[in-house]
Amino acid sequence: MSMETTAWTQLHSVLNAQERRPLARVTLRRIGGFARPHRRRIALFVLLGSATALLAVATPLLAGSVVDTIVTGGEEQRVVHLALLIALIAVAEAALGILGRRLSASLGEDLILDLRTAVFDHVQRMPVAFFTRTRTGALVSRLNNDVIGAQRAFSNTLSTVVSNVVTLLLTLTVMLALSWQITLIALVLLPVFVIPARLMGRRMARMQREAATLNAAMGTRMTERFSAPGATLVKLFGRPEEESREFAERARRVRDIGVRTATAQSVFITALTLVSALALALVYGLGGWFALRGALDPGAVVSLALLLTRLYAPLTSLAGARVEVMSALVSFERVFEVLDLRPLIEEKPGARDVPEGPVSVEFDDVRFAYPSADKVSLASLEEVATLDTRGGAEVLHGVSFRAEPGQTVALVGSSGAGKSTIAQLLPRLYDVDSGAVRVGGVDVRDLTAASLRDTLGMVTQDGHLFHDTVRANLLLARPEASEEELWDALRRARLDDLVRSLPDGLDTVVGERGYRLSGGERQRMTIARLLLARQRVVILDEATAHLDNTSEAAVQEALTEALQGRTALVIAHRLSTVMAADLILVVEDGRVAERGTHAELLAAGGRYAELYRTQFARQPAGDGTEHAPLAA
């Protein structure tokens, strides 16, 4: 059996001795999967632990020889040589300890890197529905607290298990050789180690889960309250005293579980240390009695006493390691819980790229319902007892339309009619329940995610920016864009003068969600990002919603230029922005109620004409033109 296998077998035995749960074995195998790429370093680490254990057993034997030499009146030179050997062993043991600690730390940090990367990449693949339900603070806690808790299994627990198991076996062998009677009597107290370890491990695991949940809840509340919109909402409608009391209550619960955990650990370890001291007194008393009767050498008594400390120390450490393993196992399980969430939207094997050239967009009898919580989320990430398992109600009912290459199709209608839902199905933020969404004549479910991203560009009504520089936010669209192209996109979005006036120009940080800019400036920044991307299909979801009339006209001019030769899907409440569309769809209650051009729909006198009359004052003018809109 290899050293790596031995190490994991020992870890497995500790787990089984602690609490026999079916999930533990499954989790252990998955941990082994993360450990497999580092098996050479793990094997080296096990060898170092074994060498350290050998040195630890050698020192008590040499100390006993020193005592025997002194008692029997041996040569001074032998005592000096033995002392020098003890010193050399101490130096070697210290050096191996440092090297082993460095290696275990390296393994632990690499595990953190692997786990964090795996969780981050997996979460990136989750559908938008996952993020609409999950509390951000709870998810971040998995990437931070739980990953670090899992890392302890490598950096601390593994080294403890390996070195102490070897030390324990060697120490027992030597003690039995010196005096099997004293060794067996000293081991009478062994059950005092095992029984509390089994009981305490379960309790510690429960407290660890509770602590993880409470920390995530507190972190979530801080994340929500410290964000710019959250802080604004609290200042406008919140009560600072009540907010402070509620946060303090959460923090107190975290403190209380921390105190309980620390106290339980301290009582446990102190009790085991006390048992070790009682056993040491027993060895000195019984060993001294044997030595006075001539049945045992004085040096053997000293060696047995020192070896006993090497025996009970590993036992104490292993008993504590059981608690640490259970805590680490809980952390691993919480991390794996996220990794086990299967993304609803996955790229098919053999998916193809979007066809070259101008592309069409087609919705063919599309029906859609937002997924229920149990399909996309975890109760622990939503901080609820159980997930809502009710199926989602259908929100789109047989939607069909086609936008030819280069055409602009506009979606208008009441709020909540399903316009934004239609827009989200095109870039495959969600998948349809029946029917098909096609780009370039190909079902989006048969296209690669990368080619779909390169083909479709979207500006939402909430112009989101990262807490980064203007340059970094623009380069999300095209990382290879030159300085000239950045400024050209800003100019076309009527934003270049503002950026030039900022303290650091393109390198000015815009703040969280872009809150250092006005609403209209944020929206124009996202439009500049779209202009820079130069994608063949453009989706505008209320892209000019936050602009005043002057800015809207300027940006509309830039968008008209940007949409030339591109297929566009435009959602707008302001009918003034879509009157020139090739096709206008009136969406009501998840259905296309009317379709046609602006003139055709006005002539039909239906819902579109009603919306138009609501927004525009149609007064006769001498030149026969219509006046500007009176309301947004």
Give yes or no: residues 306 and 177 share one domain: yes
Look at residue 586 and tell me whether its pLDDT is greater than 90.
yes
Look at residue 251 and tell me whether its pLDDT is greater than 50.
yes
Give yes or no: residues 327 and 457 share one domain: no
Nearest to 552 by CA among 632, 452, 434: 632
Q: How does pLDDT run across 481-490, given as a tens digit for each residue?
A: 888 989 988 8
Domain span at residue 480 reads 361-615
Look at residue 437 and tell me whether its pLDDT is greater than 90.
yes
Give yes or no: residues 209 and 145 share one domain: yes
How many domains in the chain?
2
Look at residue 555 and tell me whether its pLDDT is greater than 50.
yes
**For residues 181 and 177, what is the distance between their CA atoms, to the nearest angstrom?**
10
CA angle 555, 556, 557 (to 5 degrees): 85
Lookup: tokens for 477: 């669209």
Which residue type sits at 202?
R
Alpha helices in 340-378 (DSSP H): 373-376
Q: Do the domain assignments include residue 355?
A: no
Q: Do the domain assignments include residue 567?
A: yes
Q: Do the domain assignments include residue 491?
A: yes
Q: Do the domain assignments include residue 90?
A: yes
Look at residue 587 and tell me whether its pLDDT is greater than 90.
yes
Give yes or no: residues 537 and 578 share one domain: yes
Q: Do the domain assignments include residue 201?
A: yes
202 neighbors 20 (Cβ within 8 angstroms): no
pLDDT higher at 92 or 549: 92
CA distances in angstroms from 586 to 205, 400, 569, 583, 591, listed in the order given: 57, 12, 13, 10, 8
Give yes or no: residues 439 and 518 share one domain: yes
Q: Do the domain assignments include residue 44?
A: yes
Alpha helices in 190-297 (DSSP H): 190-226, 228-237, 240-292
Mean pLDDT to the nearest integer, 449-471: 84
Q: Is 388 helix (H, G, I), strand (E, B) or coil?
A: coil
Give yes or no: residues 335 and 373 share one domain: no
Q: Do the domain assignments include residue 628?
A: no
CATH number at residue 469: 3.40.50.300
DSSP 134: S
Look at residue 543 and tell me whether its pLDDT is greater than 80.
no
Look at residue 627 and tell me whether its pLDDT is greater than 50.
no
**For residues 168 and 309, what is the distance between their CA atoms, to the nearest angstrom?**
11
- Ranking 11-25, 86-100, 253-267 by mean pLDDT, the lowest is 11-25
Give yes or no: residues 239 and 117 share one domain: yes
438 neighbors 368 (Cβ within 8 angstroms): no
Q: Do the domain assignments include residue 630?
A: no
Q: Is 135 helix (H, G, I), strand (E, B) or coil?
A: coil
**For residues 610 and 4, what is the distance between their CA atoms, to the nearest angstrom?**
75
Contacts of 26 (CB under 8 A, 6+ apart): none
Look at residue 15 and tell me whether its pLDDT is greater than 70.
no
Q: Is the dihedral angle over the CA atoms 55, 60, 61, 65 positive or is it negative?
A: positive
Q: State the maximum Cα–Cα separation within the chain, in Å, rounded to a whole number.
A: 130
Residue 57, pLDDT score: 79
Q: How would you classify the pairing of strands 456-459 and 442-443?
A: unpaired
Decide: residue 282, CB within 10 A, 0-12 exposed, 13-18 middle, 19+ buried: middle
Give yes or no: residues 552 and 456 share one domain: yes
Q: How does pLDDT run across 317-365, given as a tens digit for each residue?
A: 676 666 677 777 777 888 888 888 888 888 888 899 998 888 899 999 9
Q: How does pLDDT run across 164-218, given as a tens digit for each residue?
A: 787 788 888 888 888 888 778 777 766 665 566 556 666 776 777 777 777 777 7
CATH number at residue 329: 1.20.1560.10
Q: Please state the separation of Cα 50 from the chain's center in Å.
A: 36
Give yes or no: residues 55 and 161 share one domain: yes
Give yes or no: residues 131 and 263 share one domain: yes
Alpha helices in 427-564 (DSSP H): 449-455, 470-475, 483-492, 496-501, 519-533, 549-562
Give yes or no: residues 519 and 597 share one domain: yes
Nearest to 490 by CA among 548, 539, 555: 555
For residue 399, the cross-strand partners are 366
Give the residue from 309, 339, 369 where a domain finishes.
Answer: 339
399 neighbors 590 (Cβ within 8 angstroms): yes
Backbone region of residue 583 per phi and psi (left: phi > 0; alpha: psi in -120 to 50; beta: other values): beta
Give yes or no: residues 369 and 332 share one domain: no
